[in-house]
Structure 1
Amino acid sequence: MGKLFTDEQIAQANQINILEYARQAGYTVEKITPKEYKIPNYGGLRINGIGSKWNSFTDKAGGGPIQFVMYMEKKSWVEAVKELLGISETQNSYLYRVPRDIEKEKEEKGEFVLPEKNSTYKHVFGYLINTRKIDKDIVVSMVKEKKLYENTHRSCVFVGYDQEGTARYASVRSTNTKGSSYRGDVANSDKAFAFNIAGSSNTIRVFEAPIDALSYATFLKHFDSENKDHMLALGCLGDVALKRYLKEQPEINQIIFCLDNDQWGREALNRWIEDYKPDYSLAYHFPKGKDWNEDLVSFFKEMEQRRDGQEFEEEAEM
């Protein structure tokens, strides 16, 4: 049997920064000292300051990036390497003989249950509209489509559905603006059914997070653009949701990647250009700041400053 991964690929997976991966995956990462970080509620899990090693005191587990993904996401060794490299299940260009005492069978997922709804939407509305500056009508439309609601912890819940209209995925984003803030997927979510805004054109715009997709939609509306494009929030930097969406929407022939403006977003773009260019017209649009919501908040802040400045000048001329 040949190799499933080259030595270079394995080395690349082991060089992934655990801290950055954890943040991108939606885990809460807290700094303890410059040399140590932690992920709360995971058995005393600690990560060293350069993101190369981790350990869990409670479970007596630890290792590098591959073992981190195996531990946190209940993946086999092969699945963890594929996750770190961004390789889909169909990309078996290489074969690697994995020792049987390392490779474990993927644990069967439990039942997916949406978080309990709150009796109000005021915290979600306040956070998304006032703090994140997302257009009110866009937020309301997501609520009406049951793709967004507030849970009993006053957090945003973004929901993804399958073709039968059954909820299969949900991500939670805290509405806290001070102190600790939580974000992450609901247990047993299927990332293949990530949050999306349905469209009617032959183009899909791809984002990392739901708030970025909603922020981009706000920009389009503000500039009087009648957006008909499909908009998909991967919930990570894996493309399983994109592959499923494209399969279900065969009319799509153009992909515009609107990822975060950082190392991880650019590396993912480079991978996906190679993967999708044989079959699709490709383009990309990076924000000026780190992500699209950062750009949106900055945009409205600048608008307010200009308006205040203009009002000051008008008063001075009177």
Structure 2
Amino acid sequence: MGKRKLFTDEQIDMANSINILEYARRAGYPVEKISPREFKILKHGGLRIDGNGHKWNCFSAQKGGEAVYGGGPIQFVMYMEKKSWVEAVKQLLGLPAVSDLSQRSLYRPPQKPEEVKGELILPEKNNTYKHIFAYLTKTRKIDKDIVSLMVKQKKLYENSHRSCVFVGYNHDGAAKYASVRSTNTTGSSYRGDVANSNKTWAFRIEGTSQAIRVFEAPIDTLSYATFFKHYGIDNKDHMLALGCLGDAALEQYLKDHPEIKQIIFCVDNDKWGHQAVERWTDKYKSEYSIAHHFPKGKDWNEDLISFIKETERRVVELEEAQSEEAEL
């Protein structure tokens, strides 16, 4: 007998239908309008809510701005109120009633169509790639040949602000997603999606095997690919960076690649990553073989930087030892 679900699909859909803007206001969070399409919550770093209250993102100050969270109302409650996924769903459903919010008025009408996105306009290109190459290969320790391949495939370029731009394309080869990552190593550091990006077509590296490895960010994807190269592994797996902890891109990719039989989740080794893997395992296990590979540190780039530094340290020690032997 299978494990009994805590919530029905209808209950989860209901929790996910709650308007985040209305919830935030009624919960007492200081919401401020930035533009008709975007709101922010004061004193919460880079937390932004879209104008229709469907989605949110937070580019936190942790680790120099590298941590990023986002998603729908369930993830919003998890992040803002430090609740587990189960607790967040209960909070939104009022099971049990843990607040005096009028839940009924918070629901988005299910028949309301999703807001039509405008055209994605990619950021202006710089006349050089030197800043992103220096950042990705020297600071982030990603293999230069992998970076070059991404540039050649037009999945990566440098914008006029000297930032990395990671691009995702649809079936027709049209750019539909772009995320920007600042190359700043001191001071403020920006990370975010370009306006009108569609995460369904997030950054990916196509493979030929029957397995797909799923990451949160492009830099972690390239870091993992670098590990493969260091260990002499000819990787054939598909690799997908969700751009958050939503699985719209994974759903589309699996639909486009019916040959895939296994999903390997390689997301961040933190509370949010572990909870996401639990949700996705339950969602996909009936049709796919599921596995996970968490990094030792917080994320795969952190692991890569530690690995490269340790490797370089050992090389220096070996050279010093050989030099001492030669002098004897």
SS at match of 2:309: helix
Q: Aligned partner of 1:5: which letter?
A: Q
Whether 2:186 is the aligned partner of 1:178: answer yes
- TM-score (structure 2 length as normaliser): 0.73
Whole-angstrom CA distance in 2 between matches of 1:237 and 1:62: 20
Shift of 1:315: 2.8
Shift of 1:103: 3.1
Hey, what does 2:138 align to over in structure 1? 130
Whether 2:140 is the aligned partner of 1:148: answer no
- Contact 1:174/1:182, CA 8 A, preserved across alignment: yes
Q: Aligned partner of 2:224: which letter?
A: Y
1:217-236 to structure 2, matched below 5 A, reads 217-236=225-244
The match for 2:30 among 50, 55, 59 is 55
Whether 2:51 is the aligned partner of 1:74: answer yes
1:1-318 to structure 2, matched below 5 A, reads 4-5=10-11, 54-57=29-32, 72-76=49-53, 80-81=72-73, 84=76, 99=104, 103=108, 106-317=114-325, 318=327
Whole-angstrom CA distance in 2 between matches of 1:172 and 1:77: 22
Hey, what does 2:66 align to over in structure 1? none
Unaligned runs of 5+ in 2: 1-7, 56-70, 79-84, 86-91, 95-101
What is the percentage of aligned positions where both structures have the same residue? 55
Q: Aligned partner of 2:11: which letter?
A: F
- CA distance 1:312–1:54, change in 2 (3 Å): farther
- CA distance 1:170–1:57, change in 2 (3 Å): closer
Query: After superposition, what is the alpha-carbon deviation per residue over 1:70-116, rounded to whole angstroms, capped at 9, x for unaligned?
Result: x61234469943665899xxxxxx99997467637554322211101
Query: After superposition, what is the alpha-carbon deviation per residue over 1:26-53, rounded to whole angstroms, capped at 9, x for unaligned?
Result: xxxxxxxxxxxxxxxxxxxxxxxxxx96
- CA distance 1:175–1:250, change in 2 (3 Å): same
Whole-angstrom CA distance in 1 between matches of 2:205 and 2:265: 15
- Contact 1:74/1:107, CA 8 A, preserved across alignment: no
- Contact 1:9/1:85, CA 8 A, preserved across alignment: no
Query: After superposition, what is the alpha-carbon deviation per residue over 1:208-238, rounded to whole angstroms, capped at 9, x for unaligned?
Result: 0000000000000111101011000000000
Q: Aligned partner of 1:130: which letter?
A: K
Whole-angstrom CA distance in 2 between matches of 1:255 and 1:181: 32
Shift of 1:270: 0.4
- CA distance 1:316–1:101, change in 2 (3 Å): closer
Whole-angstrom CA distance in 1 between matches of 2:28 and 2:205: 38
Q: Aligned partner of 2:73: which letter?
A: V
Unaligned runs of 5+ in 1: 19-51, 88-93
Whole-angstrom CA distance in 1 between matches of 2:282 and 2:298: 24
- CA distance 1:57–1:101, change in 2 (3 Å): closer
SS at match of 2:30: strand
- TM-score (structure 1 length as normaliser): 0.75
- CA distance 1:295–1:53, change in 2 (3 Å): farther
- CA distance 1:282–1:101, change in 2 (3 Å): closer
Hey, what does 1:31 align to over in structure 2? none
Whole-angstrom CA distance in 2 between matches of 1:154 and 1:250: 38
Q: Aligned partner of 1:161: which letter?
A: Y
How many residues in Structure 1 have an aligned counterpart in Structure 2?
A: 269
Whole-angstrom CA distance in 2 between matches of 1:262 and 1:268: 10
Whole-angstrom CA distance in 1 between matches of 2:220 and 2:9: 38
When the two chains are superposed, the root-mean-square deviation of aligned CA atoms in Å is 3.5
- Contact 1:200/1:230, CA 8 A, preserved across alignment: yes
- Contact 2:31/2:41, CA 8 A, preserved across alignment: no
SS at match of 1:5: helix
Shift of 1:58: 5.6
- CA distance 1:179–1:160, change in 2 (3 Å): same
Whole-angstrom CA distance in 2 between matches of 1:220 and 1:75: 42
Shift of 1:175: 0.4
SS at match of 1:261: coil
- CA distance 1:82–1:56, change in 2 (3 Å): closer
Q: Aligned partner of 1:81: which letter?
A: P
